Amino acid sequence: METSSALKKGNAVNVRDMIEEKKSTRNMTNVMEKLMPKLLLLIASISIFTTLGILFTLLFETVEFFQRIPFYEFFSGTVLKPLSQNPQFGVLPLLTGTIISSVIAMFVAIPIGLMTAIYLSEYATDKIRRLVKPILEILAGIPTIVYGFFAFTFVTPLLREFIPGLQATNILSPGIVMGIMIIPMVASLSEDAMSSVPNSMREGALALGSTKLEVTGKVIIPAAMSGIVASFVLGISRAIGETMIVTIASGSSKNFTFDITQSMQTMTAYIVEVSSGDAPAGSTIYYSLYAVAMTLFVFTFLMNLFARYISRKFREEY
């Protein structure tokens, strides 16, 4: 009887310990459940705070620049001579160089990238697709400085064989190489958009007697138009923000011209030039760096907003 009583007492103690342990674990779980959303929110807010920090830094320094240089003179001036005795700060030469190089890049990237996406999505076998896509990913992973030296040492001499008036540094060569660099982005995003179109639409069009080319041009591309156009806009944003290719291959001449054979400078190349140490802190040319950077920020921000608008405008729900 005494042994039985001791066993019951021992079991009661063990059950009590298990209950206390369960309560402790439950309390810890409740604390973690309450803490994790706040921790995840903090981590998710890092990118937002970083963007706000960048924006406020650019904004404060840009305001300081426009207290010295009139807003109208900056955005309408066609001469940029920041280091001369009578410095002039017209941003139009930089805007022209940036836009021309981006347009050239998209003339290269859009047709090649779109045709590549069509082939991978509609025509390529699984074996070829598994071979081509990794090659595109390798192309996307090449450092931009390598592209810059490729443009300067190979593409420019090659183009000068066909265009005798082409200068050693020009806007045509880096524009073409930027287009080559953007091809993987356009091809990948467009291919994803076309692959997301249901097979039932392809099969229905083929059942009605359409050819493969007709299905691609009249069914698949219109259905995937939002993703395709978004890839174009994001590609343009990538070209606008490119730095090393244009810094190496386009030169530092701040010419306001539309001649693509001439040396021109983009906004990113100007930022690299000024931040390399030629401008003392607190000088007007130093603050011009932030004004140009703010202009570039607004450009890319508007392009991204436009890409989101296009995606929502032409999005198809299946």
Could you tell me which of 256, 283, 260, 285 has the C-alpha nearest to residue 273?
A: 285
The beta-strand segments (E) located in the chain are 80-81, 88-89
How do residues 45-100 score in pLDDT, each as one tens digit? 888 888 888 888 888 888 888 888 888 888 888 888 877 778 788 888 889 989 99
What token pair was written down for 118?
């069509």
What's the rounded Cα separation, in Å, for the pair 239 and 10? 75
* Residue-level pLDDT, tens digit, the chain, 318 residues: 555 555 444 555 565 666 566 666 666 667 677 787 888 888 888 888 888 888 888 888 888 888 888 888 888 888 888 777 787 888 888 899 899 999 999 999 999 999 999 988 888 888 888 888 888 878 878 888 899 999 989 999 999 888 888 888 889 999 999 999 999 889 888 888 888 888 888 888 888 887 888 888 888 888 888 888 888 888 888 888 888 888 888 887 888 888 888 888 888 888 888 877 666 777 788 888 888 888 888 888 888 787 777 777 766 665
CA 297 → CA 22, 171, 259, distances in Å? Answer: 54, 22, 26
Give the model's pLDDT for residue 317. 60
Asked if 68 and 282 touch (Cβ cutoff 8 Å), the reply is no
Cα distance between residue 41 and residue 47, in whole Å: 11
Contact 200, 124 (CB under 8 A): no
**Residue closest to 172 by CA, chosen among 194, 192, 157:** 157
Domains of the chain: 75-313 (1.10.3720.10)
* Helix 225-240 and helix 92-118, axial crossing angle in degrees, nearest 10: 140
Q: How far apart are CA 205 and CA 208, in angstroms?
A: 5
Give the pLDDT score at 108: 92
Strand, coil or helix: 81: strand
Joined together, the tokens standing for residue 227 give: 């993703």
- At 290, list the tokens: 């932030």
Place of tokens 């305001």: 63
What is the pTM (predicted TM-score) of this model? 0.81
Looking from the CA of 22 toward its CB, the CA atoms found within 13 Å total 6
| Model pLDDT, residue 315 | 66
